[in-house]
Amino acid sequence: MSQKLKVGVLGATGMVGQRFISLLENHPWFEVVTLAASPRSAGKTYEEAVGGRWKMTTPMPEAVKNIVVMNVNEVEKVASGVDFVFSAVDMSKDEIKAIEEAYAKTETPVVSNNSAHRWTPDVPMVVPEINPEHFEVIKFQKERLGTTRGFVAVKPNCSIQSYAPVLTAWKEFEPYEVVATTYQAISGAGKTFKDWPEMVENIIPYIGGEEEKSEQEPLRLWGNIEDGVIKKAASPVITCQCIRVPVLNGHTAAVFVKFKKQPTKEQLIEKLVNFKGLPQELELPSAPKQFIQYLEEDNRPQVTADVDFENGMGVSVGRLREDTVYDYKFVGLSHNTVRGAAGGAVLCAELLKAQGYIQAK
């Protein structure tokens, strides 16, 4: 009998759901046994429900093709066959909040890619290399939900992963003012060029809700648990513009930073390449060995050359140089649907398992 934990994917037919399924193929700890989506897909095999919508470059795993898709709204039924679920459903924010808590109340942990619970005070929002200690707030959440093993944990927005890890690595130099412009891939909207032909050779200077998330979510990562809730950090202040660009996968960020304590360029690079966290110490299955790479060439990082660094779980940084208005400026790149979405959530689940928060039911 399999010793792997049994996993369900909510929103399994969508772009992020498909990424979960691809990343979990042959996972050493987790086995996908249940797939759920909207009532439109329920009752069909996964292969039928996805039809021509498979968006990954690797083929659909054989093991999921004949799984009959369940209705996400049938919470007890879906939860009964799994140890925990990944959530990537696209519903209204209130519906997602309610349904994720409903799963938690069936004593099924929920590791979510959605934004709905990112500011729920007792829900941890975690990048495992940055703030793994925020999982400690789960005990207060369980008290509120009245559960013993069920809870919701989330990962942050994809846009921040190209610069928040970098600023974290530079924490001791006390960055206090940050200006970032993100150049975001179309897969971040769940789209390919086939679904969104208007994006070919185009730029759209607006992504709904993205600038506020890009400015505020890093502060929550750097916050502390106080009185059973996460209190966000007050600094650095971040201002951001988010631009949709004709790229399939990979969010690039061009960033300016002011520091209270003046570092040299060599010190900054040294902090980046030596930055490690619990995933590296514990050698979690999806952890990148090198979390942040620094590229010396003036024309890097480039999306096509660097987006898959460390299987899409690493962050690439380049063009670090002194600035005439700010202290330094740099360019960062990360994979938005791997590190920024499904891969980031899988790494959270691996850490939650390693720390005993997720166990077989």
Ligand X SMILES: NC(=O)c1ccc[n+]([C@@H]2O[C@H](COP(=O)([O-])OP(=O)(O)OC[C@H]3O[C@@H](n4cnc5c(N)ncnc54)[C@H](OP(=O)(O)O)[C@@H]3O)[C@@H](O)[C@H]2O)c1
Classify residue 136 by its DSSP letter: G
- Beta carbons of 312 and 335 less than 8 angstroms apart: yes
Separation between Cα atoms, residue 329 and residue 9, nearest integer Å: 39
Under the binding rule (CB under 6 A), the answer on residue 41 touching ligand X is: yes
- State the DSSP H helix or E strand holding residue 37, giving kind and residue range, or none if neither: strand 30-37
Separation between Cα atoms, residue 88 and residue 7, nearest integer Å: 13
The stretch among 15-23, 26-34, 166-174, 275-283 that binds ligand X (CB under 6 A) is: 15-23
The stretch among 26-34, 184-192, 195-203, 266-274 that binds ligand X (CB under 6 A) is: 184-192
Separation between Cα atoms, residue 46 and residue 20, nearest integer Å: 14
Under the binding rule (CB under 6 A), the answer on residue 307 touching ligand X is: no
- Output the smallest distance, CB 67 to ligand X, in A: 14
Interface pick for ligand X out of 108, 113, 147, 293 (rule CB under 6 A): 113
The stretch among 38-46, 136-144, 165-173, 287-295 that binds ligand X (CB under 6 A) is: 38-46
The stretch among 161-169, 308-316, 327-335, 336-344 that binds ligand X (CB under 6 A) is: 336-344
C-beta of 86 vs 330, nearer to ligand X: 86
The stretch among 10-18, 124-132, 306-314, 319-327 that binds ligand X (CB under 6 A) is: 10-18
b (16+ CB within 10 A) / e for 200-237: eeeeeeebeebbebbbbbbbbbbbebeeeebeeeeebe
C-beta of 37 vs 348, nearer to ligand X: 37
Give the number of residues in contact with ligand X, rule: CB under 6 A.
26
Q: Is 63 exposed, middle or buried (0-12, 13-18, 19+ CB in 10 A)?
A: middle
70-71/30-37 β-pairing: parallel
Under the binding rule (CB under 6 A), the answer on residue 37 touching ligand X is: yes
Under the binding rule (CB under 6 A), the answer on residue 102 touching ligand X is: no
Preceding peptide of 59 cis, ω within 30°: no
Neighbours of 39 (CB within 10 A): 11
Exactly one of 117, 134, 240, 251 is catalytic; name it.
Answer: 251
Under the binding rule (CB under 6 A), the answer on residue 8 touching ligand X is: no
117 is catalytic: no
Q: CA nearest 338: which of 64, 11, 24, 89? A: 24
Under the binding rule (CB under 6 A), the answer on residue 34 touching ligand X is: no
- For ligand X, the nearest residue by Cβ is 14
Q: What tokens does 327 get?
A: 């202290």
Interface pick for ligand X out of 128, 132, 175, 188 (rule CB under 6 A): 188
Interface pick for ligand X out of 4, 25, 27, 38 (rule CB under 6 A): 38
Exactly one of 117, 134, 158, 240 is catalytic; name it.
Answer: 158
Under the binding rule (CB under 6 A), the answer on residue 248 touching ligand X is: no
Under the binding rule (CB under 6 A), the answer on residue 114 touching ligand X is: yes
Under the binding rule (CB under 6 A), the answer on residue 120 touching ligand X is: no
Would you say how long the chain is, in residues? 361
Beta strands in 173-236 (DSSP E): 175-184, 224-226, 229-231
Interface pick for ligand X out of 7, 8, 17, 137 (rule CB under 6 A): 17
Separation between Cα atoms, residue 89 and residue 190, nearest integer Å: 11
Under the binding rule (CB under 6 A), the answer on residue 192 touching ligand X is: no
Strand partners, 125: 154
- Output the smallest distance, CB 349 to ligand X, in A: 16
Q: Is 125 exposed, middle or buried (0-12, 13-18, 19+ CB in 10 A)?
A: buried
251 is catalytic: yes
Under the binding rule (CB under 6 A), the answer on residue 161 touching ligand X is: no
Under the binding rule (CB under 6 A), the answer on residue 89 touching ligand X is: yes
Residues forming the site for ligand X (CB under 6 A)? 11-17, 37-38, 40-41, 72, 88-91, 113-114, 158, 187-188, 190, 336-337, 340-341
Catalytic (active-site) positions: 158, 251
